Chain A
C-alpha cells in the first residue's frame, strides 16, 4: 500500500517570500503520478502542479515548482513570491492505478 507523508501541519510565510512544503511517499510502483492540490477556505480542490514519475525534469507552473527526487521518494513544493491568495491547505497526492492517496495536508498562511 502506498503512503503519503506531509510532516508540516502549518507553515507561515510573508508576502513575496518563498516557502517550501515537504512530501514523502512510499511505493513499490515504478510508474505513478504525483500532485499538489490546493484547498482554499471555499474547500474547492484545485490542482496546483503534477509530476509524472518517468520524467526527470521537475515540473513548474508559474510561481509553483517541485523538487522531485525519485530515489528518495520525495516531492516538495516551492511557492515563490507568495501572495495572500496562496493561503490554503495544500495536499500532496500520489496516484498509480487510478486512486489518489492524499497526505495529511499543510496549512499555508501568507501574511502581509
Chain B
C-alpha cells in the first residue's frame, strides 16, 4: 500500500509552547488528509479534515485556533498545537487519501505521541 510518513514519532514540550507535527504522503498525491486524536485504550476521534489549498474543516468541539492545520501541498499537511497544555498530551494520527476518488482507501501515518510537561 501507499506510505504516509508522520514526524516526529514522539515529542515532549513545555506548557505554553507550540509543537508542529508533519504528515507526508511519500508515493502518492493526497487531496485530503485527516487528523485524529487517540486517548489510551480508546478509539480514534477525527479532529479535522484538510484539503490541499483550502481551509481545514474542524469537527465539533475542536478548537481551530488551538490546533492549526495547514495543507500547503498535495504531499504535506501539518498540525500545530499552539500554547500546549498537559491536557493536550495524546496520540495524534494523520491519514491521507489518494487522488483516485471516493473508492480509494486512506493510509495512516505512524502517529505522534505528544507529552506536554
> Which residues from chain A sit less than 8 Å from chain B, CB to CB?
33, 35, 42-47, 50, 52, 91, 98-105
- Cβ-neighbour of B1 out of A35, A43, A47, A52 (below 8 A): A47
Residue of B at shortest CB range from A44?
B110
Query: Does B110 lie within 8 Å of A35, measured CB to CB?
Result: no
Q: Which residue of A lies closest to B51 (CB)?
A: A98
Q: In the complex where A99-B46, A102-B43 touch, is A50 in contact with B108 (Cβ < 8 A)?
A: no
Q: Does B63 contact A (CB under 8 A)?
A: no
Question: What's the minimum C-beta distance from B85 to chain A, rounded to whole angstroms?
Answer: 23
Does B99 lie at the interface of the complex (its beta carbon under 8 Å from any beta carbon of A)?
no
Which A residues are CB-close (under 8 A) to B91?
43
Q: Is the CB of A98 within 8 A of B102?
A: yes
Of listed B44, B102, B103, residue having the most chain A CB within 10 A: B44
B43: chain A residues within 8 A (beta carbon): 91, 102-105
Contact B102 A100 (CB under 8 A): no
- Give the number of A-B contacts (CB < 8 Å): 43
Closest 4 pairs between A and B when the two form their complex, measured CB to CB: A45-B108, A102-B43, A43-B111, A102-B44
Q: How far is the CA of A45 from the CA of B34 in the complex (A)?
A: 13
Residues of A with C-beta under 8 A to B1? 47
Smallest beta-carbon distance A33→chain B, Å: 7
Q: How far is the CB of A87 from chain B (nearest CB, A)?
A: 15
Assembled-state Cα–Cα distance A73/B34 (Å): 26
A47-B1, A98-B102 in contact; A91/B111 too (CB < 8 A)? Answer: no
Given A35-B105, A43-B91, A104-B42, verify A98-B32 contact (CB < 8 Å).
Answer: yes
Chain A residues near B23 (CB, 8 Å)? Answer: none
> Cβ of B49: which chain A residues have Cβ within 8 Å of it?
98-99
With A43-B38, A44-B108, A100-B46 already in contact, 8 other A-B pairs whose C-beta atoms are closer than 8 Å: A42-B110, A43-B91, A45-B95, A45-B108, A98-B97, A100-B95, A103-B43, A104-B42
Interfacial chain B residues near A44, Cβ < 8 Å: 108, 110-111
Chain A contacts for B13, CB-based, 8 A: none
Query: B74 contacts the other chain (Cβ, under 8 Å)?
Result: no
Out of B34, B108, B110, B111, which one reaches A99, CB within 8 Å?
B34
Bound: A52/B102 CA distance, A:
11
